[in-house]
Structure 1
Amino acid sequence: MPTPLTDLPTAPTSSFQQQFHRRWSSLRDPHVRALAWLLDAPGLLDAQASRWNGRIAALGALSEMDITWLQALDKNPRELYLLINAQPSARLGRYAEKLLTFYLQQTGRLIAHNVQVRNGPNDTIGEFDFLVHDEASDDARSGAVHWEFATKFYLLESHHDQMQADAFVGPNLADSLGAKMDKIMQQQLMLSAHPAAAQYLPQPVTRALALVKGWLFYGETTEAASLPAALGISAQHCRGFWCELSALDVSDDERYLVLPRLEWLAPARALAGKTLSGAQLRETVQLLFKETLAPVMIAVCDMEGDVALERRRGFLVPDDWRSKAAQRVQHAVVQI
């Protein structure tokens, strides 16, 4: 049986990725590995932080039954593929929702998902991401817990005097951790209180919680350890680096992968033939930047025979991304 991630060594030489590969070494299917990450990785936010007022959901430790189920699913993932391939989407958030939906369906916890609330035919008030059975209640079937689900990737661009949630910005600069959590806490988790919601609810909502997974990425001058507790970010969160392509210290002794968006969840595992040398990586990313100015996710890999395993990951950003990110952060500071 895999060793719990929290029980694995935490020495600096042991990254989250290396721990994940050891824990889930038997898994080969990419979707099953993504599901294992979603269920088992640390949450992005600290559920105990006062900032969140007890409104952060946690999936809890996987049971032996869950682990056995994931291992069996890896050998026969047909049902998972049927759900993933139904109404295909290139959106990572939609992909993660499908993975979680599958797990909740299989474990009998799901009441409903993507339940829209309307106040008339042309007036959509909001949507419940997930309604799940309240396992904290003596009668788990007596009420529903509303989970607002998000899988997010944010890069920290900040000076120490601007260490706030809005300093974590999305790769496309259209989102920030602060803005996302404000929307979840102040709007989306309040949906069940709207007068129009009751008619759409199969059971009364007893609690409304945010379930947030993802990765945070840090520039070369900022360490995750320096984050103030007031931010409410989990100390165990998954993390990586970001830098301009010109600042990346590549080596032809190492192998790299460029990760498509739908492969951003779990640490990468690929055949050696899919990896790139340092020179090939630079050329590939330069070509991608000519097509789009979006940051590119890469994995730095260890080789085990003919298999490449992600050791660490990061975003390579265009040369002007840093200044644009700083402007966005400064704008958020001015708005406060």
Structure 2
Amino acid sequence: MQSEPFQVAFHARWSGLRDPHVRALAWLLDAPDLLDPAAAQWQGKIATLTPASDLDRWLAALDGAPENLHAFLMLRPYERLGRYAEKLLAFYFFRQGMLVAHGVQVQSEKNQTIGEFDYLLQTAGQFEHWEFATKLYLLEGSADGDYFVGPNLADTLGTKMRKILDRQLALGGHPDAQAHLPAPIERACALIKGWLFYHGNDQASPALGVRADHCRGFWCAQADAGQLDAECFVLLPRLSWLAPLQIEIDQTVDKAAMIVALEAHFAQTSTPVLVSLLRAVDGIAQEIRRGFIVPDDWRERAGQRAQRAFIASHSR
């Protein structure tokens, strides 16, 4: 099975990195953004990273001695993927001398939470507020148009971005936020990273506002998982959802074992599973594709979720 172009490029540049957290940080810094900053619906508020010129050397050194990164992450069981990605990026901003504050909660006089600044940054002499999200969505086509829906159906790309643009980026203007700001915010913007997943030959419409070169994968129903073709497979735990996987071959499974693992999983829960398809390269296994395996009734439920999103967006 042919590799996805992004996986090929990522392995070509970063296969020397072995620490999984350093590889995840490399993905955050090197992967294309999810959204097209020129798309009108994002209101000119999409940020993009310009990694340091010595990024390859810096990450290689960090990979050789990752203890400071591990201590900074302070990982706990069941850590949320978004929180994990935020910590990784905060480590980079700190090391680059850009980080003024991270995860600053704003509360009212009655101790009610108003919101939280993901990052307050000093960049090129400018004081900025950045919101950050790392998201994975599956394209669901419906009669009312296409929607990117979260695998657990909790949100859509559109609802997430409306929350960020209309509420979270306005936090700096709230009176209760002023005590947390050492200077007026000169720019408020959102950095969005992630993966988008497609069924069959589906493609995203330009109207959805995503970058043409975004990280992508596939999704299919559990009933179709037996048609997947690869040398070996891994069912990815949540904190391994960022970078293309590179792992020892003896930690992978064959197709038969993958199918058994999926059956056991879906016997207990309807949560979709992210699967990495790998091939052996120089004694290790490298991801060539990735995709969500969803319950056989997922598409029907996703269509209902997209319909609710359509109604909500047209009733504003």
Fold agreement, TM-score > 0.5: yes
Q: CA–CA distance in 2 between the matches of 1:132 and 1:77?
A: 24
Q: How many Å separate the matches in 2 of 1:115 and 1:299?
A: 35
Q: Which among 18, 22, 41 is matched to residue 8 of structure 2?
A: 18
Match of 1:273 among 241, 250, 263: 250
CA contact (8 A) 2:230 2:279 kept: no
Task: Map 1:193-232 to 2 at 5 A.
Answer: 193-223=173-203, 227-232=204-209
Matching of residue 291 in structure 1 with residue 268 in structure 2: yes
Verify: 1:82 aligned to 2:62, yes or no. Answer: no
The letter for the 1-side match of 2:136 is F
Q: How far apart are 1:331 and its partner, in Å?
A: 2.0
Matched residue SS, 2:54 = helix
Q: Taking structure 1 as the reference length, what is the TM-score of the superposition?
A: 0.89
Aligned twin of 1:68 = 57
Change (3 A) 1:205 1:313: same
Match of 2:114 in 1: 125
- Alignment partners' CA distance in 1, 2:110 and 2:76: 24
- Report the AA paired with residue 191 of structure 2: L
The 10-residue stretch of structure 1 (228-237 or 292-301) with the greater mean CA deviation from structure 2: 228-237
Give secondary structure in 2 for the equivalent of 1:97. helix
1:162 aligns with 2:135: no
1:272 to 1:250, Cα distance in 2 relative to 1, 3 A: farther
User: In the aligned structure 2, how far is the partner of 1:262 from the partner of 1:251?
Assistant: 23
2:120 is paired with a residue whose SS is strand
Q: In the aligned structure 2, how far is the partner of 1:40 from the partner of 1:251? A: 28
Aligned residues: 312
Matching residue of 1:33: 23
Query: For structure 2, which runs of at least 5 residues remain unmatched after alignment?
Result: none
Quote the Cα distance in structure 1 between the aligned partners of 2:195 and 2:106: 31
Q: Confirm or deny: 8 A CA contact 1:256 1:299 kept in the other structure.
A: yes
Return 284-293 or 258-267, whichever deviates more.
Answer: 284-293
One-letter amino acid matched to 2:145: M
Partner deviation per Cα, 1:256-297 (whole Å, 9 max, x = no partner): 111000000000011111111111100001111122210000
Deviations 1:290-329 (A, max 9, x none): 2221000001111114311000000000111111101111
TM-score by length of 2: 0.94
Residue type matched to 2:287 in 1? E
Q: C-alpha distance in 1, partners of 2:164/2:241?
A: 22
Tell me which residue corresponds to 1:57: 47
Question: Is the CA contact 1:250–1:278 (under 8 Å) kept in the aligned structure 2?
Answer: no
Answer whether contact 1:128 1:148 (CA < 8 A) is retained. yes
Tell me how far apart the structure 1 counterparts of residues 287 and 114 of structure 2 sit (CA, whole Å). 42
Q: Relative to 1, partners in 2 of residues 1:202 and 1:294: Cα closer, same or farther, differing over 3 Å?
A: same
Distance 1:221 1:146, change over 3 A: same
SS in 2 for 1:157: strand
What is the CA distance between 1:97 and its match in structure 2? 0.7
Cα gap change, 1:31 to 1:300, in 2 (>3 Å)? same
CA distance in 1, matches of 2:21, 2:288: 19
1:153 aligns with 2:153: no
1:158 partner SS: strand
Which SS does the other structure have where 2:47 is aligned? coil
Taking a change above 3 Å as real, the CA distance of residues 134 and 317 of structure 1, as seen in their structure-2 partners, is same
RMSD value over aligned CA atoms? 1.7
